[in-house]
């Protein structure tokens, strides 16, 4: 490590009044250099010219996953007041991490931010606000879930989706760069795959977003890949398939009534006379769209695994987060009727703009490299937890 670089790191550590985690050249190990430890070893703050001589033998070698390496550092969850982000924030807190949530509450709910997390209300578009959040914390990593997520709305307002999902991701990465935060887990979507590109869809399947939402997410992925390649950001992209279900207490408030399962539950509860099935002329066995439904607790678990992965490897990796099993809209309606033991009347309507016929994940990469194994993504648990959430909110 050259002397000037070390000087910069030490001066940064002084400003931050804490420790630094350094990657030693290209070796996988990390070292922790605290100013206190340094002072104790060399007897006072180092003279500029003595730093390289003194510092080299005085660092402490620790394993990459050691808690000492991340002590005092938080994980920033953008979109942590939203449906998936709040489950991710809960999961991280339960695993002993410190968590900060950044959310503008455009669709998220204040009550969804877990009480153990520090909450910053504001918009990613406002770089000064984001800078203030970074200046008030030391972040180990960012989990970036904040986004606009409605496919149909994106068809009507493509500019807004580019702005919020891609441009704001670029702004976030710039602030991460300014503050030396080098790890990100990004929430992307299966909506960017070419639905005709393979069954099931692997991470290598062709990308050809069928709508502005998927496209904006793909642009965001590329921005992150750019930072990974040229600024040394370690990045994971999770392409979730259909998130569903809720934590077992059912307390997280729903954010999107347009999703299939909340719609079915409204009918099951008698709030609506019937569920509208958006088209039955798709190229699927029963003509209705087929999706890979993955429980939100399994998605939260993937984030925990992703964080571990990032502590051991750099670079840019894309993972599908799904189960490998698809269910059609009709199958979901029938399963809900069975689990809840209620009639669920339906009506076949017209197709929605931008919907693909069949989206099923090939989840093998996440299983092999992350150890990701969905344990909650069975229909019974999905429907029961979603119902509990529905009844309580
Ligand atoms: N729900 C799914 O099935 C699904 C599938 C694939 C990918 N995803 C991705 O997962 C992520 C979370 O989705 P969700 O279902 O929890 O949606 P959500 O709407 O519940 O959560 C998004 C959160 O981001 C916040 N937000 C949006 N724009 C913001 C901005 N500019 N600044 C600050 N906060 C902002 C919202 O207030 C909300 O709390 C998104 O990135 C989405 O693209 C979701």
Residue 260 included in any domain? no
Residue 201 included in any domain? yes
The predicted model gives 306-327 an average pLDDT of 96
Catalytic residue among 38, 83, 193, 213: 213
pLDDT at residue 354 greater than cutoff 90: no
SS3 state of residue 36: helix
Residue 85 included in any domain? yes
What is the Cα–Cα distance from 62 to 32, expressed in whole angstroms? Answer: 7
Return the CATH number at 383.
3.40.50.720
The predicted model gives 306-322 an average pLDDT of 96
The predicted model gives 332-348 an average pLDDT of 96
Q: Residue 7 has what pLDDT?
A: 52
Q: Residue 196 has what pLDDT?
A: 78
Q: Residue 258 has what pLDDT?
A: 76
Residue 12 included in any domain? yes
Q: Residue 236 has what pLDDT?
A: 98
Residue 80 near residue 101 (C-beta atoms within 8 A): yes
pLDDT at residue 28 greater than cutoff 60: no
In short, whether 244's Cβ falls inside 6 Å of ligand 1 is no
To test the ligand 1 pocket, which listed residue (108, 215, 253) has its Cβ within 8 A of the most ligand atoms? 108
The predicted model gives 22-35 an average pLDDT of 33
- Are residues 200 and 157 part of one domain? yes
Atom of ligand 1 nearest to the CA of 112: 39
What is the Cα–Cα distance from 69 to 21, expressed in whole angstroms? Answer: 7
In short, whether 103's Cβ falls inside 6 Å of ligand 1 is yes
Structural domain of residue 104, as residue ranges?
Answer: 72-247+290-325+356-392
Q: Ligand 1 centroid to 104 CA: how many Å?
A: 11
**Is the overall model pTM greater than 0.85, yes or no?**
no
In short, whether 261's Cβ falls inside 6 Å of ligand 1 is no
Q: Ligand 1 centroid to 148 CA: how many Å?
A: 6
pLDDT tens-digit series, residues 134-191? 999 999 999 999 999 998 899 999 999 999 999 999 999 999 999 999 999 999 999 9
Closest CA to ligand 1's atom 4: 243
Residue 347 included in any domain? no
pLDDT tens-digit series, residues 245-254? 999 999 999 8
In short, whether 168's Cβ falls inside 6 Å of ligand 1 is yes
41: Cα separation from own chain's centroid: 41
pLDDT at residue 42 greater than cutoff 90: no
pLDDT tens-digit series, residues 1-26? 444 444 554 454 444 434 333 333 33
In short, whether 84's Cβ falls inside 6 Å of ligand 1 is yes
- Are residues 214 and 83 part of one domain? yes
To test the ligand 1 pocket, which listed residue (107, 192, 224, 382) has its Cβ within 8 A of the most ligand atoms? 107
- Are residues 78 and 63 part of one domain? no
pLDDT at residue 353 greater than cutoff 90: no
Q: Residue 70 has what pLDDT?
A: 59
Task: Label residue 259 by pLDDT band (50, 70, 90).
Answer: confident
- Are residues 77 and 53 part of one domain? no
- Are residues 166 and 47 part of one domain? no
What is the Cα–Cα distance from 125 to 145, expressed in whole angstroms? Answer: 14
The most confident of the ranges 4-8, 41-45, 202-206 is 202-206
Residue 350 included in any domain? no
What is the Cα–Cα distance from 40 to 34, expressed in whole angstroms? Answer: 10
pLDDT tens-digit series, residues 44-85? 333 222 222 222 222 222 233 344 445 679 999 999 999 999
In short, whether 169's Cβ falls inside 6 Å of ligand 1 is no
Q: Ligand 1 centroid to 75 CA: how many Å?
A: 17
- Are residues 221 and 129 part of one domain? yes
Q: Greater confidence, 4 or 113? A: 113
Q: Residue 187 has what pLDDT?
A: 98
Q: Ligand 1 centroid to 303 CA: how many Å?
A: 15
- Are residues 201 and 114 part of one domain? yes
Q: Residue 33 has what pLDDT?
A: 36
The predicted model gives 198-226 an average pLDDT of 94
Q: Residue 355 has what pLDDT?
A: 79
SS3 state of residue 127: helix
- The CA distances from residue 142 to 174, 175, 219, 220, 281, in Å, are 13, 11, 18, 15, 41
Please confirm, yes or no, whether 213 is among the known catalytic residues.
yes
Task: List all residues 6 or more positions away from 39 whose beta carbon is below 8 Å from its beta carbon.
Answer: 45
pLDDT at residue 320 greater than cutoff 90: yes
pLDDT at residue 89 greater than cutoff 90: yes
To test the ligand 1 pocket, which listed residue (145, 293, 297) has its Cβ within 8 A of the most ligand atoms? 145
- Are residues 106 and 14 part of one domain? no
- Are residues 203 and 220 part of one domain? yes
Mean pLDDT of the chain: 85
- Are residues 81 and 62 part of one domain? no
Q: Residue 36 has what pLDDT?
A: 40
Cis peptide before 169 (omega within 30 of 0): no
Q: Residue 103 has what pLDDT?
A: 98
Q: Residue 164 has what pLDDT?
A: 98
User: How many separate domains does the chain show?
Assistant: 2
What is the Cα–Cα distance from 235 to 228, expressed in whole angstroms? Answer: 6
- Are residues 93 and 62 part of one domain? no
- Are residues 60 and 79 part of one domain? no
Q: Ligand 1 centroid to 165 CA: how many Å?
A: 9
To test the ligand 1 pocket, which listed residue (78, 82, 164) has its Cβ within 8 A of the most ligand atoms? 82
The predicted model gives 358-384 an average pLDDT of 97
What is the Cα–Cα distance from 133 to 140, expressed in whole angstroms? Answer: 13
Task: List all residues 6 or more positions away from 5 whose beta carbon is below 8 Å from its beta carbon.
Answer: none
Q: Ligand 1 centroid to 255 CA: how many Å?
A: 9
């Amino acid at each position: 490590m050259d002397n000037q670089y070390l000087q910069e790191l030490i001066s940064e550590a002084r400003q931050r009044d804490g420790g630094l985690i350094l990657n030693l050249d290209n070796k996988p190990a990390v070292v922790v250099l605290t100013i206190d430890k340094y002072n104790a070893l060399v007897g006072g703050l180092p003279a500029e010219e003595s730093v390289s001589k003194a510092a080299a033998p005085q660092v402490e070698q620790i394993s990459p996953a050691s808690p000492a390496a991340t002590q005092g550092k938080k994980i920033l969850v953008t979109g942590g007041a939203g449906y998936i982000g709040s489950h991710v924030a809960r999961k991280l807190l339960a695993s002993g991490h410190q968590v900060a949530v950044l959310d503008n509450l455009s669709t998220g709910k204040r009550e969804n931010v877990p009480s153990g997390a520090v909450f910053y209300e504001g918009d990613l578009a406002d770089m000064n606000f984001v800078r203030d959040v970074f200046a008030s914390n030391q972040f180990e990593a960012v989990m970036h879930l904040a986004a606009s997520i409605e496919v149909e709305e994106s068809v009507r307002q493509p500019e807004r989706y580019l702005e919020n999902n891609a441009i704001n991701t670029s702004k976030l990465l710039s602030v991460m760069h300014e503050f030396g935060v080098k790890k990100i887990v990004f929430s992307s979507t299966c909506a960017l795959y070419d639905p005709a590109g393979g069954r099931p869809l692997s991470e290598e399947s062709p990308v050809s977003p069928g709508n502005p939402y998927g496209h904006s997410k793909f642009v965001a992925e590329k921005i992150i890949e750019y930072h990974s390649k040229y600024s040394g950001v370690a990045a994971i992209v999770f392409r979730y398939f259909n998130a569903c279900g809720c934590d077992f207490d059912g307390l997280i408030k729903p954010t999107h009534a347009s999703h299939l399962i909340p719609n079915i539950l409204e009918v099951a509860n008698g709030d609506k006379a019937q569920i509208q099935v958006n088209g039955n002329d798709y190229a699927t066995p029963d003509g209705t769209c087929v999706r890979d439904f993955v429980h939100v607790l399994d998605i939260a678990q993937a984030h925990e695994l992703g964080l571990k992965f990032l502590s051991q490897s750099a670079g840019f990796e894309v993972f599908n987060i799904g189960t490998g099993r698809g269910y059609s809209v009709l199958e979901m309606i029938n399963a809900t009727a069975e689990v809840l033991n209620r009639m669920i009347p339906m009506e076949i309507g017209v197709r929605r703009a931008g919907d693909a016929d069949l989206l099923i994940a090939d989840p093998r990469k996440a299983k092999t490299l992350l150890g990701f194994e969905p344990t909650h993504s069975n229909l019974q648990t999905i429907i029961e937890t979603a119902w509990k959430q529905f009844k309580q909110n």
